[in-house]
């Protein structure tokens, strides 16, 4: 059965402001063009590397695209495909080795189209229980890789910056609760490595916290010895201000892993929060050959890993996992009359509203493309793919060692 679509009137009482929300013949043609472009982009192996253009170049090529009468969908799409897209670097190109390369699976990319078409608000169980259910299954798999308890839970946020900030807000909340009022007007302290990601410092700034950076050892790690020394050098009053120790599993510049066991032990001795920033490196938890490098992460109060980095998901997606999700809920739940229905609902076996688990309220179900990819291919395929990337690294390392004109600066872990 063929559905007859309404025709966009060339003249009449209805304005474009009325018709732009209806699926007519023009929007059908636009949909076909969009899908054709998406499929063509996916089929390219490799895609064009492309690169940035200057403002003057883009102005000459594209000009002004925001006009009173509009360009029309096909024309706007043409501008993107012919000009704007080529001014964006393809981070999934095999020759792109800068910043953060990404290699989303085709299934994840395709499901991202489904997600956008579905327009799901995924902040509450009430409004998006199906999406949250699927996201939670993906989060539980990530948590299991770190040997977190079955009672752990989390949420997908935009990236490591949002993930670290949200985890550390929960850490500050617990620190102040433990202080029973004595820390309410005291600036907290975050202790982390000198090799920590810049987002940890940004989180400290946003939280009005001080930061103590531990000197890295010869391998670029935050060692247990250096961590203890940095804390011992603080006066007792400042040691009481420590609300979290932040270790890194895969530093940005070197990819090294801090001493997670010693970091966790020091946090327990102080009675403070232990957070692991694994935005990049913690993805390797799914590779049996290197999982031993992450021993100690199972003792963390929280950790993050970005599927859009090394777990083959599209931008943007960061998994934030809490050992005790109730602490996260208490720290992040927003209270207002218009939100009461979300707090009063009986969630049954559901773990929480995603909006109650991080520093956000509005959110898309950004974990669904990652969930769809894992559900499609299975966890064994992810283990195999991760091992392949590690083997490529080992082979590249050997090629560098064998080349007389190259120097290996650091042995990969």
216 and 281 housed in the same domain: yes
195 and 127 housed in the same domain: yes
If the chain, 413 residues long, is cut into consecutive pieces of 10 residues, what is the mean pLDDT of each piece?
A: 57 63 90 96 93 97 95 96 97 88 94 96 94 97 98 97 98 96 94 96 97 95 98 96 98 94 98 98 97 98 97 97 96 88 64 90 97 98 97 96 95 85
Q: Which domain holds residue 38?
A: 16-87
The CATH number of whichever domain residue 247 belongs to comes to 3.40.640.10
CB atoms under 10 Å from CB of 235, counted, come to 8
34 and 142 housed in the same domain: no
389-403 residue pLDDT tens: 999 999 999 999 999
pLDDT of residue 269: 97
Mean pLDDT of the chain: 93
54 and 159 housed in the same domain: no
Q: Is residue 333 part of a domain?
A: yes
Q: Report how many domains make up the chain.
A: 2
- In 129-236, DSSP assigns E strands to 153-157, 189-193, 210-214
280 and 238 housed in the same domain: yes
pLDDT of residue 264: 98
215 and 317 housed in the same domain: yes
pLDDT of residue 11: 46
66 and 157 housed in the same domain: no
pLDDT of residue 18: 75
Q: Is 72 helix (H, G, I), strand (E, B) or coil?
A: coil
Question: Please, is 319 exposed, middle or buried when counting C-beta atoms within 10 Å of its C-beta (0-12, 13-18, 19+)?
Answer: buried
Q: Is 108 helix (H, G, I), strand (E, B) or coil?
A: helix
251 and 296 housed in the same domain: yes
Residue at which a domain ends, from 87, 119, 139: 87
222-281 residue pLDDT tens: 999 999 999 999 999 999 999 999 999 999 888 999 999 999 999 999 999 999 999 999
pTM: 0.93
156 and 242 housed in the same domain: yes
73 and 179 housed in the same domain: no
pLDDT of residue 345: 61
């Amino acid at each position: 059965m063929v559905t007859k679509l309404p025709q966009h009137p060339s003249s009449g009482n209805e304005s474009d402001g009325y018709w732009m929300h209806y699926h007519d013949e023009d929007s059908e043609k636009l949909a076909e063009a969009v899908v054709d472009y998406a499929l063509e982009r996916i089929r390219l192996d490799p895609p064009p590397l492309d690169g940035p253009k200057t403002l003057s170049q883009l102005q000459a090529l594209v000009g002004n695209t925001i006009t009173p009468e509009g360009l029309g969908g096909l024309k706007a799409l043409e501008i993107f495909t012919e000009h704007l897209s080529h001014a964006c670097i393809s981070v999934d190109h095999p020759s792109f080795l800068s910043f953060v390369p990404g290699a989303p699976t085709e299934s994840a990319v395709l499901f991202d189209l489904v997600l956008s078409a579905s327009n799901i608000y995924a902040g509450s169980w009430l409004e998006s229980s199906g999406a949250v259910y699927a996201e939670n299954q993906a989060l539980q798999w990530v948590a299991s890789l770190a040997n977190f308890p079955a009672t752990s839970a989390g949420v997908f946020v935009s990236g490591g910056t949002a993930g670290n900030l949200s985890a550390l807000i929960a850490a500050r909340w617990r620190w102040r609760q433990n202080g029973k009022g004595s820390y309410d007007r005291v600036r907290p302290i975050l202790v982390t490595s000198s090799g920590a990601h810049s987002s940890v410092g940004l989180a400290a700034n946003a939280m009005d916290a001080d930061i103590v950076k531990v000197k890295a050892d010869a391998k670029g790690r935050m060692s247990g010895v250096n961590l203890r020394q940095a804390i011992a050098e603080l006066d007792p009053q400042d040691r009481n201000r420590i609300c979290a120790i932040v270790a890194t599993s895969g530093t940005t510049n070197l990819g090294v892993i801090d001493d997670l066991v010693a970091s966790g032990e020091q946090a327990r001795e102080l009675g403070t929060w232990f957070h692991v920033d694994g935005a990049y490196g913690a993805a390797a938890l799914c590779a049996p050959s290197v999982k031993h490098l992450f021993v100690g992460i199972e003792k963390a109060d929280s950790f993050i890993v970005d599927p859009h980095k090394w777990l083959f998901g599209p931008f943007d997606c960061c998994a934030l996992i809490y050992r005790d999700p109730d602490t996260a809920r208490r720290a992040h739940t927003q209270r207002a009359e218009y939100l009461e229905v979300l707090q009063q609902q009986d969630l049954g076996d559901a773990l929480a509203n995603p909006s109650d688990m991080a520093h956000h309220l509005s959110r898309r179900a950004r974990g669904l493309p990652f969930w769809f990819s894992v559900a499609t291919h299975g966890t064994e395929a992810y283990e195999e793919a991760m091992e392949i990337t590690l083997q490529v690294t080992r082979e590249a390392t050997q090629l560098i060692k064998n080349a007389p004109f190259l120097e290996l600066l650091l042995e990969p872990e």
